[in-house]
């Protein structure tokens, strides 16, 4: 029996990973206690995803465990031991804004939960590759010192800068910048994942992702902007753009493209690696560009307003340079650009969103 152990298994990235590795013939053990509902309310609950995985995914076993619960995590690892051939840690508190409300909870989930998983891996299945879903927020607001040029619909990096052609590399410092409370807890986890690779020799990788999304994303106002934006447009729900004239740029990555990267690392693991991962120059947009695409795809006019106050520590411009990962895994190619991502999100959710819009207008 070869087991993939996946935390956050009912979330966006976790559920995609469950389906992928189950389709490869592995047994999958998932850990998820639906804290997303606690973070963001009932509309963000992943219970429906959990039930669907249990009902439809062969070889999947679900455990309602909190990653902060060291005893429960260790007991499950102790039971499975060397049958675990892969650990994917996606469980997290993912919101800037929410983290500031409960810093202890944020740090315990993101940092302590990661340490629990690392130590369990070291004790019970040390040969298993450990993949951590990190974030570009580990760099704090350091990208905001880059020389940016204001265009009609977006901020863009000055063409003479070394990051202009492909995006921001892993050489950007994580020091001397404002990270947000969320970013700080993810830095702690990220560095610990690296250290368990260097110090203990585990096969670890931190994937520092930009915006991750997909048709199953339970996007909310505080997290998952592209899916939530598409939903707001389709349902005529008002949306608020925060700061930077709506010209802030993000690269956007379909979760299945991320899982393909995970799979390549699993098959040829390395030690203590760090990768910037995201849509890169292939898939990125500003907020204004995303609004226009949502309106075009949905056929609905977006109801939105602008607040000049940006979120603390937020990026003005982020595009990931994924060249390092591609140099290690030359077969890797992105498949979904922003337009394709938004179209799939809309197509998969259109009927449900139409029902919501009709009930609101009734």
pLDDT per position as a tens digit, 181-226: 999 999 999 999 999 999 999 999 999 999 999 887 665 565 557 8
Residue 357 has pLDDT above 60, yes or no: no
Residue 26 has pLDDT above 50, yes or no: yes
In angstroms, rounded to a whole number, what is the distance separating the alpha carbons of residues 316 and 211? Answer: 14
Q: Dump the DSSP string for 169-217.
A: -TTS-SSSS--HHHHHHHHHHHHHHHHHHHHH---EEEEEESEEE-TT-
**pLDDT of the residue at 362:** 47
3-state secondary structure of 236: coil
Domain annotation for the chain: domains and CATH numbers: 3-145+165-217+253-283+320-337 (3.40.50.720)
Judge contact between 225 and 314, C-beta under 8 A: no
In angstroms, rounded to a whole number, what is the distance separating the alpha carbons of residues 165 and 162? Answer: 7
**pLDDT of the residue at 198:** 98
Greater confidence (234 vs 288) lies with 288
Q: Copy the structure tokens of residue 270.
A: 């390395």
Neighbours of 170 (CB within 10 A): 17
**pLDDT of the residue at 311:** 84
pLDDT tens digits for 240-296?
Answer: 999 999 999 999 999 999 999 999 999 999 999 999 999 999 999 999 999 999 999
Number of helices (H), then strands (E), belonging to the chain: the values are 13, 15
Q: State CA 284 to chain mean position distance.
A: 15
Residue 229 has pLDDT above 60, yes or no: yes
Q: Round the CA-based radius of gyration of the chain to a whole number and report it.
A: 20
Neighbours of 310 (CB within 10 A): 17
Q: Which residues contact 237 (CB under 8 A, 6 or more apart)?
A: 231, 303
In angstroms, rounded to a whole number, what is the distance separating the alpha carbons of residues 191 and 175? Answer: 12
Predicted TM-score (pTM) of this structure: 0.94
C-beta contacts of 347-350 below 8 A and 24+ residues apart: 347/215, 348/215, 348/216, 349/215, 349/230, 349/231, 349/234, 350/234
**pLDDT of the residue at 291:** 96
**pLDDT of the residue at 136:** 96
pLDDT winner (highest mean) among 136-150, 204-218, 305-319: 136-150
Which of 146, 200, 210 minimizes the C-alpha distance to 172? 146
Mean pLDDT score of the chain, rounded to an integer? 93
Q: Copy the structure tokens of residue 209.
A: 């992702």
Phi, psi of 265 (to 5 degrees): -65, -40
Residue 227 has pLDDT above 90, yes or no: no
Residue 94 has pLDDT above 80, yes or no: yes
CA-CA-CA-CA torsion for 158, 163, 168, 169, nearest 10 degrees? -160
């Amino acid at each position: 029996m070869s087991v993939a152990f996946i935390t956050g298994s009912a979330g966006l990235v976790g559920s995609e990973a469950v389906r992928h590795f189950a389709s490869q013939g592995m047994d999958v053990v998932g850990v998820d206690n639906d804290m997303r509902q606690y973070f963001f309310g009932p509309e963000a609950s992943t219970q429906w995803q959990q039930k669907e995985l249990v009902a439809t995914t062969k070889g999947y076993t679900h455990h309602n465990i909190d990653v902060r619960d060291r005893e429960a995590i260790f007991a499950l690892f102790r039971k499975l031991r060397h049958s675990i051939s892969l650990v994917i840690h996606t469980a997290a508190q993912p919101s800037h804004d929410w983290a500031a409300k409960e810093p202890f909870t944020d740090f315990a989930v993101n940092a302590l939960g990661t340490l629990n998983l690392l130590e369990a891996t070291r004790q019970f299945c040390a040969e298993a590759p450990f993949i951590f879903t990190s974030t570009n927020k580990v760099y704090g607001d350091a990208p905001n010192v880059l020389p940016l040029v204001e265009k009609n619909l977006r901020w863009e990096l000055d063409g003479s800068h070394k990051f202009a052609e492909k995006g921001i590399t892993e050489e950007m410092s994580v020091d001397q910048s404002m990270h947000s409370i969320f970013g700080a807890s993810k830095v702690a986890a990220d560095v610990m994942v690296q250290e368990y690779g260097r110090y203990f020799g585990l096969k670890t990788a931190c994937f520092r992702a930009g915006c991750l999304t997909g048709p199953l994303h339970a996007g909310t106002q505080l997290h998952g902007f592209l899916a939530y934006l598409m939903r707001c447009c389709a349902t005529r729900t008002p949306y608020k753009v925060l700061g930077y004239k709506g010209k802030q740029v993000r690269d956007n990555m379909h979760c299945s493209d991320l899982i393909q990267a995970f799979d390549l690392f699993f098959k040829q693991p390395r030690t203590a690696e760090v990768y910037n991962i995201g849509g890169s120059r292939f898939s990125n947009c500003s907020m204004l560009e995303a609004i226009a695409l949502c309106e075009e795809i949905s056929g609905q006019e977006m109801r939105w307003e602008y607040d000049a106050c940006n979120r603390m520590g937020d990026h003005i411009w982020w595009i990931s340079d994924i060249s390092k990962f591609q140099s290690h895994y030359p077969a890797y190619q992105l498949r979904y650009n922003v337009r394709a991502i938004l179209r799939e999100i809309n197509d998969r959710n259109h009927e449900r969103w139409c029902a919501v819009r009709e009930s609101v207008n009734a």
